[in-house]
Amino acid sequence: MNYQEAYKKLEKYGQLHVLKYYEELGEEEREALLTQIGQTDFDVLSLCEKKETLNPRGKIEPIAVMQLPEIEEKKEEYTKTGLEAIRAGKVGAVLLAGGMGTRLGSDAPKGVYNIGLTKDVFIFQRLIENLMDVVDQAGAWVPLYVMTSDKNHDATVSFFEEKKFFGYNADYVTFFMQDMAPASDYTGKVYMEAKNKMSTSPNGNGGWFLSMKKWGVADKIRQAGVEWLNVFAVDNVLQRIADPCFVGATIATGSAVGEKVVAKNAPDEKVGAVCLEDGRPSIVEYYDMTPELMEAKAEDGKPAYHFGVILNYLFRVKDLEEIVARKLPLHIVEKKIPYLDEKGELVKPEEPNGYKFEQLVLDMIHELDSCLPYEVVRNKEFAPIKNKTGIDSVESARELCKENGIIL
Ligand code: UTP
């Protein structure tokens, strides 16, 4: 894109301030800025104005959950089915590690965080150890696809290499990068993070399959005969990955997607609750939980929206092409965004100062006809690390690891 084209595009979206330092830039810096302007979708920024009415919710109703007693009863059968699928190479795992982890407050990728006390125990290491349990049980490697972003790709790849993939077979690990989206102030004006660079943020965890397609990974998956992808978050250090019983239950019930859920510890806990929305499987985010939904009772008298997702889903590959062809909703999220101030100096704010624009993996569920919410024991499988201290923190995850006999 040349200067005139860039000017026109920015003018159309009311973003001409992006060229404020253009005259000061060298040839290469100018080139980089013009390229970024050419590649950026500024349409998303106009959504700020419609923030409140962006994603209206449909009619929310309870959904049936496969609970622990039922799973226990069929454990053997499901585990057998799951192990067969894993041994046949039909199950892959997708680690969503493109997030910025701003709440944890480290500049490094979240998975590099060391939660060890007497020895090194990195978050990535915990996840690989969990996956290795299944590899040992099945006697087969599970292909692992790791999603990174522009902000942490090199650091993530070199960390895995330096640590020799924590004993995992590197031939079965593939990295791919997600896309970025512009980040703006509260009025929708994109921030600058350098004189020749607009502030960007990873575009959410919902774009993972589109990014796999872009990077040619989706083709490889199909060629390899992978039929199921277990997508999981980087920050839950206790989660079971490619869990044979979960895989088996999803296959045996003919579900298009399986989702691991835990019993919520309070009606207003900050996890998305599984439900039906306009008769289709869905997830109602914690900030959309009205007092009525929190108090609603199911037919058996128990809370109707008692089970929350832990960002561990098993998708059927053949459905993913269709899902990504439709547009997922866009969410506007308040974040701390580094920016250049009036003097052109970089500021790293202590408090949220603007918006980033994200698609979320949980919105993919609503695109599918059938879904199996599958309960897991909370204290055994849910130890998310979002913050340094307090709820969902390094501290709480350490306690849960200890409870489960993991030496830190
Ligand atoms: P979170 O919602 O906790 O976001 O991500 P985050 O960016 O990691 O952390 P904060 O909010 O800045 O503190 C849940 C999961 O989705 C991944 C994260 O890496 C994590 O595994 N994720 C999130 C992505 O892969 N890409 C994104 O753009 C956002």
Q: Which helix (H) or strand (E) holds 7?
A: helix 3-12
Q: Residue 53: pLDDT band by 50, 70, 90 thresholds?
A: confident
Summarize pLDDT for 228-278 with one digit per residue, the tens: 999 999 999 999 999 999 999 999 999 999 999 999 999 999 999 999 999
Ligand 1 close to Cβ of residue 82 (< 6 A):
no
Exposure of 366 in the CB half-sphere (CA atoms within 13 A): 23
DSSP 258: E
| CA 296–ligand 1 middle distance (angstroms) | 30
| Torsion sign (Cα): 316, 318, 321, 326 | negative
Ligand 1 close to Cβ of residue 243 (< 6 A):
no
Summarize pLDDT for 298-347 with one digit per residue, the tens: 888 889 999 999 999 999 999 998 998 888 899 999 989 999 999 999 99
Q: What is the pLDDT of residue 138?
A: 98
Summarize pLDDT for 369-382 with one digit per residue, the tens: 999 999 999 999 99
- What is the average pLDDT across 169-198? 96
| CA 196–ligand 1 middle distance (angstroms) | 26
Ligand 1 close to Cβ of residue 360 (< 6 A):
no
Structure tokens that stand for 230 in this block: 């277990």
Q: What is the pLDDT of residue 96?
A: 98
| CA 358–ligand 1 middle distance (angstroms) | 10
Residue nearest to atom 20 of ligand 1 (CA): 233
Q: Which of the listed residues 44, 94, 95, 100 should we mutate to test ligand 1's pocket, taking the one with most ligand atoms within 8 A of CB?
A: 100
Q: Which atom of ligand 1 is nearest to the CA of 235?
A: 21
User: For residues 273 and 283, is the Cβ–Cβ distance under 8 A?
Assistant: yes
Ligand 1 close to Cβ of residue 204 (< 6 A):
yes
Q: What is the pLDDT of residue 273?
A: 97
Summarize pLDDT for 75-134 with one digit per residue, the tens: 999 999 999 999 999 999 999 999 999 899 888 999 999 999 999 999 999 999 999 999
Measured in degrees and rounded to the nearest 5, phi and psi for residue 200 equal -130, 160
Ligand 1 close to Cβ of residue 270 (< 6 A):
no
- What is the average pLDDT across 7-21? 97
| Torsion sign (Cα): 216, 218, 220, 223 | negative
Q: What is the pLDDT of residue 262?
A: 98
- What is the average pLDDT across 279-290? 93
Residue with tokens 């949980």: 362
